[in-house]
Amino acid sequence: MLEAIILGAVSYGACLIFAAEGELIAERSGIVNLGTEGSILCGALLSFMVTVWTGSPYIGAIFGLVGGALPALLHAFMVVDRKADQLASGLAITFLGIGITAALGKSFVDDKINGMDAIGIPLFKEIPLIGGALFDQDILTYLALLIGPAIWWFFKRTRVGLVLRATGESGDVVYAYGHSPRKVRYLAVTAGGALAGLGGAQLVLATTLNWTENITQGRGFVAVALVIFASWLPLRAAAGALLFGAAFALNLVLQTRGVGIPSFYLLMLPYLLTLIVLAVASKGQRQLMPAGLKAVFAPGGT
C-alpha cells in the first residue's frame, strides 16, 4: 500500500508540479493567473490530438507547451496592456478553456494512444518502496521532479531570475534600471502557461492515456492555491504537489479496498488534506507575498 501511494504521489503529482511552478513564475512577476486551469486543459487536449494524428507522444508534448502558452498570452495581454482585473480575466480564460476543450475534444473521447515509455535507471529502480516512483518513469515525470529545484536555482542564482523577482516587487524600480516590466510580465505569464500546458500533456500522455471532458478536475485552481500556501517558494510548491498526488493515490487505494467511507468524502480527501497541511506549513509566511500581488489580493497594498 505504501509503495502504491509513493508511486501515485509522483505520477499524479507531476502534472500539478508543472502547473504550480508555472503559476509561481507568473506570480513572482506580479501577475496572478487564475486561467491556469484553462492552460492545463488546452495543453492536455492539443497534446492528445497531435499524438493521435502523429502517433508520437513526444511531438504531442511539444504542442502541449503551445496549447498552454496561448491562453496565458491572452491573459497577459488583458492584464498588462488592457489593465483588466487579473482575477476576472483569469476566470474568464479558464471557462473559455473548459468550453473550447469540451467542444473540440468530443470527437477524441474514444481514441486511445500509446503513451510515453518508462525509462528505467538500472539498479536504482530496484530500490524498495521508492525505486519505481523515482527511477522508472517517463521523461516528462523525470522533468517534473527536477523543475522545482531548477526554478529555485533560476530565482536565486541568475540575473534574469533576479529581474523577474524585482518586477514582482516594483515595476518602477526595474524600469529605472533599464528593464521593461511589461516585457518581463509577458514572458513570465506566457512561460507559466506553457509549463501548465506541459503538465496537461503529462496528464494525458503519461498517466491517463485518454481524453475526457474536464479531465483536470480543478488541478489548475489547486496549483494557484499551492503557490499561495507555499509562500511563493518553488521547492515547497513542488512538495505540496507531491502531497496532493499522494492523497489522490490514497483515495484510489481506499476505494479499491472497499473501505466503508462514502466516495464523496474520499474524492474530497486530496484537496482537503493538501490545503490543511500547506495552511499549517505557511503560518507566519504571508510577508513573502510579492508586493505587486498585494494590489490584487488586498486593495490598498495592506
pLDDT digits (tens, 9 = 90+) for 29-65: 999 999 999 999 999 999 999 999 999 999 999 999 9
- 98 versus 252: the higher-pLDDT residue is 98
Inter-residue contact 191 to 25 (CB < 8 Å): yes
The type of residue at 221 is: F
Exposed / middle / buried, residue 156 (Cβ in 10 Å: 0-12, 13-18, 19+): exposed
Inter-residue contact 199 to 17 (CB < 8 Å): yes
Assigned C-alpha cell, 231: 509562500
The type of residue at 31 is: I
CA distance 173 to 180: 10
- The chain-wide mean pLDDT, for the chain, equals 90
pLDDT score recorded for residue 301: 46
Give every CB contact of residue 222 below 8 A, 6+ residues apart in sequence: 16, 244, 271, 274
Q: What is the mean pLDDT of residues 85-90?
A: 94
pLDDT score recorded for residue 45: 97
For Cα atoms 247, 273, 231, give the angle at the middle one, nearest 5 degrees: 110
CA distance 81 to 193: 18
Q: Is the model's pLDDT at 289 over the cut of 50?
A: yes
Burial 166-195 (b: 16+ CB within 10 A, else e): bbbbebeebeeeebebeebbbbbbbbbbbb
CA distance 38 to 289: 24
- 41 versus 112: the higher-pLDDT residue is 41
| Confidence category of residue 2, pLDDT binned at 50, 70, 90 | confident
Decide: helix, strand or coil at residue 8. helix
Read off the pLDDT of residues 200-248 as tens digits, 9 standing for 90 and up.
999 999 999 999 999 998 899 989 988 988 889 999 999 989 988 888 8
pLDDT score recorded for residue 164: 96
Inter-residue contact 224 to 32 (CB < 8 Å): yes
pLDDT score recorded for residue 302: 41
Inter-residue contact 230 to 20 (CB < 8 Å): yes
* pTM of model > 0.85: yes
